[in-house]
Structure 1
Amino acid sequence: MTAKTPPPDTWLQAARDQWVWRGQARPHFAEAPKAGQLSVWDFPRPPRLAPEPREVRIVWDGLLVACSTRSVRVLETAHPPTYYIPWDDVARELLRPAPGASFCEWKGPARYWDLVHGPKRLPSHAWSYPQPMAGAQALADGVAFYAHGLSCSVGGLPARAQPGGFYGGWVTPDLAGPFKGEPGSEAW
């Protein structure tokens, strides 16, 4: 007898069902937000896509990579926001297609981009969802960047990379964590 491959909706639902924290209640270990802060534990799962009117700015080695007041931010439980910047607001000449791909159970198939300037290269440092799943269509015309190795800001607030090497959220001072990617956060 051979094993049958489950229908796509079955494995997709199984991937979505694995998440315990969905933004309805903060876990006991969540930091209490200070005045002017948002708790990433109040963000929903599935994630919410929201317009970001504040200026999102990325500079690499003195080069302006992107600057926009029309970004879309993804708000997902336990994660600092990820910012998708419209391609029209990105210096596309600095991006080259990169090998590899991934799949998000909420957003769909992602493709990756290298940042390149002369001999300098930051491999697979940006990603996009050219054909996002239902509910994530607002990401189709944007690209997101890992913050490590870049000078990033949101509304003038400095942003640093989300902990760990996989996730692409930006940690700004107006957020309370802890954040997915820190040691011990695998099950979040």
Structure 2
Amino acid sequence: MDVTTSTNAAPGFVKFPDYAIVLEKAGQECVATLQGRVIAKSNRAIILKESNHMPVVYFPLDDIERDTVSPSDKETFCPFKGTASYWSFGNEKNIAWSYEDPFDEMLDIKDYVAFYSDRLDAPILA
């Protein structure tokens, strides 16, 4: 993709073309549990590896338990991925986020959800 002609190009990649974000298949079943309850489980999860950050597991939206989920009004902006919307599960506020309309370079994380793994019962990846 030619980011110089894209209408939804990530400004971060334009300004810092050497910044690296790599997506790869998890290659194993990933499970997120919160207070003893499975809130996400998938064989289709992807791992996002980003410069200067720990790897993050993203679950397909279809593999998220939605019985106790509620959208939050919190949003953050990443110049490489776009605007993140946050979700709460039960009493855990803003424990998950997704990029509903990511920049063109990150379209592969659209319809995926990530969790703050340190707020879950156990790490997602063993």
CA contact (8 A) 1:85 1:142 kept: yes
Unmatched runs of 5 consecutive residues or more in structure 2: 1-7
By how many angstroms is 1:13 displaced? 4.7
The structure with the larger Rg is 1
Which runs of structure 1 show a deviation greater than 3 angstroms over 4 or more consecutive aligned residues?
13-17
Q: Which has the higher contact order (CA 8 A, sep 6+)?
A: 2
Q: Percent identity?
A: 28
Q: Is 1:123 aligned with 2:93?
A: yes
Verify the 8 A CA contact 2:95 2:119 in the aligned structure 1: no
RMSD: 2.4
Q: Does 1:134 align with 2:108?
A: no
State the TM-score, normalizing by the size of structure 2.
0.82
- Gap regions ≥5 residues in structure 1: 1-8, 23-44, 158-188
Amino acid paired to 1:152: P
* Equivalent in the alignment of 1:75: 49
The SS at the match of 1:126 is strand
- Kindly provide the CA deviation profile for residues 112-150 of structure 1, in whole angstroms up to 9, marking residues without a partner as x: 00111xxxx111110001111111111111100001231
More strand by proportion, 1 or 2?
A: 2
Indicate the residue corresponding to 2:118 in structure 1.
148
How many corresponding residue pairs? 118
2:5 aligned partner: none
Specify the SS of the correspondent of 1:100. Answer: strand
